Structure 1
């Protein structure tokens, strides 16, 4: 029995709750994974999983065994990457999930530089704004604005995602600009549907906080659709500055209630603990951190104008 391969198979099954998914991620057949787990269980003389036709979950022994095994796998991967790093640049395929707001407006512009710096890395980029468990869905790293959904995931925050309400000058000219957050209730609003606060919005100015229920006449999971809607003069929208900055600076959109602040979000890289020091993941995460440090380029002129803080 190759103990490391068996432990690696055990960790991957524990993380994905699936023998088939573990096999896919490790590039072997399902029977190989089954055989490695069975060998490990015989060696330990204890079952590691409770299996049924629909579920795979850790046994009590498996629960106790998992964390140490995950650390072993992570440490071996770290040492392997360190040795590779001494000899060569990172190589191989990296499967990532990228938030649309960043992918469509900013990430593409950085890809050429990343390719030049790391020619051996091929990127498989899936663009959507779902909150995912990278382990279960086979991503090496996911970039998102919501917290990691599992304690077994590492979260590396890269930059602050600021938001503000805005509208086209034509809309403001026809309907006027709200002077207080509650004035938004009298306007046509289009809002992103994925925020965890749902219809409840909290806006602060100084030490005062205003809470309002703002369902919106339009709700969408696409901030780019909301951006296009605002440009037509359709209504007031709330957009992340990474999407709205250019239109604001060009005057195609104007800020609404800029003296009130919405709570910021964090754009973060989320990846499995076993990838903590993965060379390719580390290269991409550090590259993006370098690109947006210390403040994202799209926010600097907005901060200077006092539109966001």
Structure 2
């Protein structure tokens, strides 16, 4: 019996809550997963899971051993990766789930540089704004702005994601520039639908907070559609600076209510400590951190021109 292989299988079934999904991710048949779990249960002398046709959940014994087994698999995979990669260089496939707003406009150059540095690593990139559990989604890492779906996942902040309200000079000339957050109610608003605060918006100004409930003329899960909506002089939109930055710096869009700051999020790398590609993933995450640092370049350029404040606010 390969105990480490069986322990890794146990961890993967516990994380995915599915024998079939664990088999898919480990690239073996479901029957192999079943056999490995049975071997481990025979060795432990107790069932590790309660199983039915619909549900797979940990037994008390399985729950007691899961944390230690997770740490063991993570350490083992990291050691094996480093030994193999020190000899021949990092190879294999790295699967990444990334936000649309980050990928479009900022990511291609980083991918090219990473593949130049590590030509034997093949990248698979899934792009969407969905919040995913990387284990259940079968990816090594999710680049997202929302909290990890499970406390068992690691979440490493990479850089802040600011948000600003903005519109074209033509729109503001024709409809007026709001001076306070409440005046936004007089305008056609384009808002992103995926923020956890939903219709509630909190503005920070000189140490005070104003919270408003705002309805949108256009509510969408696409920040790029919001940018096009604004550029077509349709209204005032709220955009992440990583999406709006270029247009703002060109003067195509103007920040409104710049002194009424919205809270920021962190773009984080969310991943499981048991990833089989821990060493390759470490290299990838380090490259993102080095490329964008604590103040990403699109924010740095706007701060230099005093278009946005230096200070960040996190709720």
Instruction: Please give the alpha-carbon distance, in whole angstroms, between the structure 2 residues aligned to 1:276 and 1:93.
Output: 10
Post-superposition Cα deviations, 1:6-59, rounded to whole Å, max 9, x if no partner, equal 111111100100000111111111100000001111111111000010010000
Helix, strand or coil for the counterpart of 1:94? strand
Where do 1:188-207 residues align within 5 Å?
188-207=188-207
Is the 1:167–1:236 contact (alpha carbons within 8 Å) kept by the matching residues of 2? yes
Helix, strand or coil for the counterpart of 1:166? strand
| Match in the other structure for 1:158 | 158
Post-superposition Cα deviations, 1:69-121, rounded to whole Å, max 9, x if no partner, equal 11111111111122124223211011110100110110112221111011011
Q: Which stretch of the first structure deviates more once superposed, 293-302 or 262-271?
A: 293-302
Unaligned runs of 5+ in 1: none
Post-superposition Cα deviations, 1:117-157, rounded to whole Å, max 9, x if no partner, equal 11011111000011110011101000000011101100010
Instruction: Please give the alpha-carbon distance, in whole angstroms, between the structure 2 residues aligned to 1:275 and 1:37.
Output: 19
How far is the alpha carbon of 1:305 from its aligned partner? 2.5
Helix, strand or coil for the counterpart of 1:306? coil
CA RMSD, Structure 1 to Structure 2 (Å): 1.1
Helix, strand or coil for the counterpart of 2:172? helix
| Match in the other structure for 1:119 | 119
How many residues are treated as equivalent by the alignment?
Answer: 309
Deviation beyond 3 Å, 4+ runs, structure 1: none
Helix, strand or coil for the counterpart of 2:204? strand
| Match in the other structure for 1:233 | 233
Instruction: Please give the alpha-carbon distance, in whole angstroms, between the structure 2 residues aligned to 1:75 and 1:239.
Output: 40
Please report the TM-score for the alignment, with normalisation by the length of structure 2. Answer: 0.96
Instruction: Please give the alpha-carbon distance, in whole angstroms, between the structure 2 residues aligned to 1:45 and 1:79.
Output: 29
Helix, strand or coil for the counterpart of 1:201? strand
Is the 1:78–1:278 contact (alpha carbons within 8 Å) kept by the matching residues of 2? yes
Post-superposition Cα deviations, 1:135-184, rounded to whole Å, max 9, x if no partner, equal 11101000000011101100010000011000011110100100000000
Q: Are positions 1:64 and 2:64 aligned together? A: yes
Instruction: Please give the alpha-carbon distance, in whole angstroms, between the structure 2 residues aligned to 1:294 and 1:192.
Output: 24
Where do 1:1-309 residues align within 5 Å?
1-275=1-275, 278-309=278-309
Instruction: Please give the alpha-carbon distance, in whole angstroms, between the structure 2 residues aligned to 1:294 and 1:128.
Output: 24
Helix, strand or coil for the counterpart of 1:252? coil
Instruction: Please give the alpha-carbon distance, in whole angstroms, between the structure 2 residues aligned to 1:152 and 1:191.
Output: 32
Instruction: Please give the alpha-carbon distance, in whole angstroms, between the structure 2 residues aligned to 1:15 and 1:187.
Output: 46
Please report the TM-score for the alignment, with normalisation by the length of structure 1. Answer: 0.98
Unaligned runs of 5+ in 2: 310-315
Instruction: Please give the alpha-carbon distance, in whole angstroms, between the structure 2 residues aligned to 1:122 and 1:300.
Output: 32
Is the 1:259–1:307 contact (alpha carbons within 8 Å) kept by the matching residues of 2? no
Q: Which stretch of the first structure deviates more once superposed, 92-101 or 277-286?
A: 277-286
How far is the alpha carbon of 1:295 from its aligned partner? 1.6
Helix, strand or coil for the counterpart of 2:308? coil
Is the 1:167–1:254 contact (alpha carbons within 8 Å) kept by the matching residues of 2? yes
Instruction: Please give the alpha-carbon distance, in whole angstroms, between the structure 2 residues aligned to 1:136 and 1:276.
Output: 14
How far is the alpha carbon of 1:307 from its aligned partner? 2.4
Is the 2:241–2:299 contact (alpha carbons within 8 Å) kept by the matching residues of 1? yes
